[in-house]
A and B are shown apart, each in its own frame.
Chain A
Amino acid sequence: MAEMNEPVDVLIIGGGASGAAVAWSLAETKMHIVCLEQGDWIKNEGFPSTGRDWEARQFGDFAISPNRRKLEADYPINEDNSPIKVANFNGVGGGTILYAGHFPRFHPSDFKVKTLDDVADDWPIDYATLEPFFELNDKMTGVAALAGDPAYPSKPAVMPPLPMGRSCEVIGEAMNKLGWHWWPSDAAINTQEYEGRAPCINLGHCGSGCAQGAKATTDGTYWPEAIRARVELRHRCRVRRIETNEDDMATGAYYVDPDGVERFQPAEIVIVACNGVGTPRLLLNSASERFPDGLCNSSRMVGKNLMFHPYSQVRGHVDEKLEGYKGPRIGTWSMEFYETDPKRGFKRGYCYQFSRGYGPVATAVNGMADGIIPWGAGHHEAFGRMFDHSLGMLAICEDLPEEINRVTIDPHLTDSDGIPAPRITYRLSENSKRMLDHSVARGKEILQAAGARDITHKTIFPGAGWHLMGTARMGTDPKTSVVNEWGRSHDVRNLFIVDGSVFVTSGGVNPTSTIQAIALYVADQIKNRIYELFD
């Protein structure tokens, strides 16, 4: 028998990017709000860049793959049937703890792909709906940017952009030769002190957590504000299932507390924010007699339409020293190939996220894997030609939704609390393959224009499953979607979903800015509709 907690008004499950944003926004209602997060608080002083093993730990306790990291907060994921492997972080702040802080918004066209390009579906909301929430999120996050990017409608910059350094200049010069768009990336990284958080000191290791606290992670942005406003965040609490009553309303959730005690948390409203894999896992694990196919799943869309963003990677080396291991990984982007051009042989498009160089360990490991740094004689000579001379890019390709790409429950695998674990089934579409090829070919042209040698590429970058979208899609039709146009489940009228699961399509940019804008928008809807919320 589970221990019974005092009831609360709002239960949020998941304390990552979206859970933090929705908690902060709802805090002003003075409702009693509790968030259950399976992971811990991570202290800045514990991040790898504070120690001499700073590079090694990105392959160890700060690995991006939960299947490699295997910390207590992690749940295993069966990804045998997917060429792209999941990357995440389970803890207060969620994926923002490890993210690069590349912070583009979706473009206006991303919400209208059916109308514009006759693919997938239009969203029931659009850029104009989200614009005030993008702006609010930029302010709460502290986004460094340069106003005036010709690839977007006008948007304000909260603080000056990241420094270009020589790496971004070299790429910029090459892009100018080709006449292609590039611009300083919007970055969730402080370039000046902001809201009590320190400016970036170019540690160069944002992907393993920012010891300086300059990267905007929600444990340092939204959560302190939300907690000050009396939201209660309970960490190391893993939710097993959501319970419902005979009126098909959620009554709360069963979870395992830090002492291993099973508890039930009753709530009037349940908000799920466990990300594009964790959310369908929880809904499917919440199957019951009333909901035999899983919760909120009368459409049978829970878990389906998983979108990742297939990534390609192209890197090269120039003769001059770039000091590219200094500074945030990100710097500039290109939206040149973002929109559909029928001549390219695929629909929709991609952005480039240009990146600086690597530290010495990553240079050696990647160089040996790519065959450009040998074992044995010649190792040092080749290493010297690569280290600090490297630059390149990732292409973030729009992934179109397909029902066969999905999250289901693995019949055998469980986490350390015995909760059934997710299984991913995913394959690349022909459209994605053509887009990836195009991105590699253009990427090589860019590096050639930059005078690069020793160019390597990965047409599909397997470890880049860090954008998790589409598995509880938003729509006006309950037959084909899981939540309505303001994030409420069609089936369970007091259950909301605010993470990347609700995405109808993936866009071709990193999703967190849009995920958080949606979380703020859903919170706003809850506040404005409070008297008709469950109708």
Chain B
Amino acid sequence: MSDLTPNTSEYFSAVKREVMRLVAGAIIPADPARDMPGADDPAILDDILASAGRDADDLARALDILGAEGAQITDASLARFRDDHPALAGVLSLVIAQCYYRDDRVLVAIGMEPRAPFPKGYEVAQGDWSLLDPVRARGPIYRDVPQEGTDT
């Protein structure tokens, strides 16, 4: 099965794209000290707008509301938006984070290998199995119940 989520690149008007740029940069700003771009980085922004998928309509609504305030995206206007429209705020968080946190630069900065999990996979340590000794020492804890079985 291929990814059945539609590409939404063409879905947003120039005005909405600009509002999205301002909002993305305000929600996840660049952090040069950590070598991290902002979510308004052109490549990440394109990805966000192309990947809105099932949330495209809600995202458009959110951008209309935020853009209507004269595109003055400030911490205060965003905080107000979160209070007034919690579900749409959740959509903004999702559409931005799902693209931001797959950008190579971001993944390297947070200590991950910039790759798909498959096919290389990862190693996980077995751990210390002797930690179970006290659990064993306590003995059975299940409730014993007379069993009849059923004729088969």
Contacts and interface: CB of A to CB of B under 8 A. Distances in A.
Contacts of B101: 55, 359-361, 363-364
A453 interface: no
Nearest to A41: B1
B148 A128 contact: yes
Interface in A176-211: 176, 179, 181-184, 201-205, 211
B93 A364 contact: yes
A380 B143 contact: no
B128 A169 contact: yes
Contacts of B116: 49-52, 54
A61 B150 contact: no
B68 interface: no
Interface stretch (A147-155, A220-228, A251-259): A147-155
B71 to A, nearest CB: 17
B135 A163 contact: no
Contacts of A375: 26-28, 75, 78, 82, 93
Contacts of A525: 152
A158 interface: no
B10 to A, nearest CB: 18
A79 to B, nearest CB: 16
A525 B143 CA distance: 28
B29 A376 contact: yes
A19 interface: no
Given A52-B102, A55-B98, A376-B27, A107 B143 contact: yes
B111 interface: yes
A124 B151 CA distance: 12
Interface residues of A, number: 91
Interface in A109-153: 109, 111-112, 116, 124-129, 146, 148, 150-153
A57 B27 contact: no
Contacts of A173: 131
B97 interface: yes
A339 B119 CA distance: 42
B75 A376 contact: yes
18 contacts: A53-B51, A71-B4, A108-B147, A112-B145, A129-B149, A146-B132, A164-B129, A166-B127, A173-B131, A181-B138, A181-B141, A201-B118, A201-B119, A203-B118, A326-B124, A360-B112, A376-B75, A377-B29
Interface of A: 40, 42-43, 46-47, 49-57, 59-61, 63, 68, 70-71, 107-109, 111-112, 116, 124-129, 146, 148, 150-153, 163-166, 168-169, 172-173, 175-176, 179, 181-184, 201-205, 211-212, 323, 325-327, 335-336, 338-339, 359-361, 363-365, 368-369, 375-377, 379-380, 383-384, 387-388, 485, 521, 524-525, 528
A-B complex: 7 closest residue pairs judged by Cβ atoms:
A201-B121, A164-B127, A128-B147, A326-B122, A128-B149, A360-B101, A56-B98
